[in-house]
Structure 1
Amino acid sequence: MYRHVFGLQQVARRSISSSARRGVENRVPEKQKLFQEDNGLPVHLKGGPADALLYRATMALTVFGTGYVLYELWNAAYPKKN
């Protein structure tokens, strides 16, 4: 009885093993070539349109956040009189 349970545990462990090779190719060399080529772009924009979109979104949030902080500082420094 225990022999069957032990055998089942062994099979279950083997099927979920993480040592199996994945079918993913290594793309590091092509990314290195892309980021090291001299095309006049800053490194944070060399990834393509997705990088440009993330950069613009980050800049917009930064400008909005700075404006909001300055607005709240102004309200804290000059509170409304009742």
Structure 2
Amino acid sequence: MHDVYDDFLDWITQSVFTYATNNNIDGATQDYCSKLVIGSHQYTDAFQNLNATNQSAYSLIAVNEQDGTEQAKGSTCE
């Protein structure tokens, strides 16, 4: 079965990357933004098709950004 939502992940990634670039967020590369987006959408085929190591790594990026940890590239919303 095709997960239609996966079709939009590239667009979301590009939007996140553009935002990061426009706001001078250091270290938010295209690759980092892609991992952030996929790690934030764990019920998609894109995430489910990753091996367990990558699922954990991508999820950790999403959690770090959400929680504003020291590993986060962006800042928390206030």
TM-score by length of 1: 0.27
Quick check: which one's helix share is greater?
1
Higher CA-based Rg: 1
Q: Does 1 or 2 have the higher relative contact order (CA < 8 Å, sep 6+)?
A: 2
